[in-house]
Amino acid sequence: MSVEQQVHITYLNGADVAALALSDDEILGAVESGLRAQGSGATVIEPRVHLIPESSAQGHFNVLRGVVKPLGFAGVKVVGDFVNNYKLGLPSEMAILNLFDPTTGMPKAILDATAITDMRTGAMTALGAKHLARKDSRVLGHVGARGTAYWNVRLLDHLFDFAEIRVHSKRPESRDAFAARLSADLGKKVVATDNWEDCLKGADILVEASRLPAPEPLFKTEWIKRGAFVVPYGTMSAVELSLTDIMDKMVVDDWGQCRKGLPFGALRAHVDSDRLSEANLHAELGEIVAGKKPGRESDDETILFWHRGLSLSDIALGAALLDKAAGRGLGQSLRFR
């Protein structure tokens, strides 16, 4: 009779992830590696699915699934997104990432993925700008102050060293605290505006990460100047239908998560009305990172990037954290069986 092999999994809690303190370049490098694998056809990704306990206006769970073959991991992340969590002193988004051996199905690791979700979202925004924004972009306008917003601004500024950063969110206490934190961490003035127009109009890079209870076109197309780079990614749309009319290129992170028949997303109405379709889509960002399609080709191009969030980015950052944790002796080994 054979003796069943003991199986242990690595557990990284939130304190472990914080202690590992991935640098900006480590975050960007990990997420870009996942994009490169995607663009090279070395991944498997399935569209996210949703679990809505009460109503989408109150909150929901996202379940993301994928495989990054070069890293040797399959992953499933479950992330809650609950808008009123701030009233309880909790992050609006909290997550767990489960990593598996894709050849046997053996569980390999469990990670607190709350910070991973924030970091990988910011990295996706910044990497989109790396390949699609003007290299001389000097002004950032950013709407939204949730966890992912911090990493949007931090990682974008890491790449562009902006001369001017404007931020806005609905609650004054939220936007003022957000601006103060960024000012301290980036070592430069960050201006909190009390309206969308002052935040976004005329900026070189415009990011919309709002948390609306229902679609509402608060982001006006007329504020976008020629040659700008625009990133809308709120769960509920905040943009006008005319947004896609002025774009020279439209790029997504994964068309499978953007196509017709799926709920939510900043450009859901644009897809459903064929203003954005597979026919006029320029590329997935991974194709650009892998050198399969061009990114920005002239300063005059006005470019849109819509990212819905990639399981591949979660897996890539999880792998980077596990590798760094092994070198530092962090984390716990839990017996699985």
Cα–Cα distance measured from residue 204 to residue 326, given in angstroms and rounded to the nearest whole number: 41
For residue range 235-260, what is the model confidence (pLDDT) as tens digits? 889 999 999 999 999 999 999 989 98
Q: How many alpha carbons lie under 13 Å from residue 106 in its C-beta half-sphere?
A: 14
DSSP characters over 155-182: HHHHHH--SEEEEE-SSHHHHHHHHHHH
Q: Are 97 and 111 in contact (CB under 8 A)?
A: yes
Q: How many CB atoms lie within 10 A of CB 235?
A: 24
Residuewise pLDDT in 10s, the chain (337 residues): 456 788 899 999 999 999 999 999 999 999 999 999 999 999 999 888 889 998 777 888 999 999 999 999 999 999 998 888 888 998 888 999 999 999 999 999 999 999 999 999 999 999 999 999 999 999 999 999 988 899 999 999 999 999 999 999 999 999 999 999 999 999 999 999 999 999 999 999 999 999 888 899 999 999 999 999 999 988 889 999 999 999 999 999 999 989 988 778 899 999 999 999 999 999 999 999 999 999 999 999 999 999 998 999 999 999 999 999 999 999 999 999 9
Domains of the chain: 8-116+312-335 (3.30.1780.10), 121-308 (3.40.50.720)
Tokens matching residue 82: 């609950």
- The one-letter amino acid at 325: A
* Ranges of H-type helices in the chain: 14-20, 24-39, 114-132, 147-160, 172-186, 196-200, 268-272, 285-289, 311-328
Cα–Cα distance measured from residue 111 to residue 12, given in angstroms and rounded to the nearest whole number: 5
Give the pLDDT confidence score for residue 147 in this predicted structure.
80
- The one-letter amino acid at 110: I
Nearest Cα neighbor of 234 from 285, 306, 169 is 306
Q: Are 243 and 270 in contact (CB under 8 A)?
A: yes
Cα–Cα distance measured from residue 134 to residue 131, given in angstroms and rounded to the nearest whole number: 9
Give the pLDDT confidence score for residue 1 in this predicted structure.
40
The distance in angstroms from the start CA to the end CA of the chain is: 18
For residue range 291-305, what is the model confidence (pLDDT) as tens digits? 999 999 999 999 999
Give the pLDDT confidence score for residue 2 in this predicted structure.
53
3-state secondary structure of 246: helix
Cα–Cα distance measured from residue 144 to residue 122, given in angstroms and rounded to the nearest whole number: 12
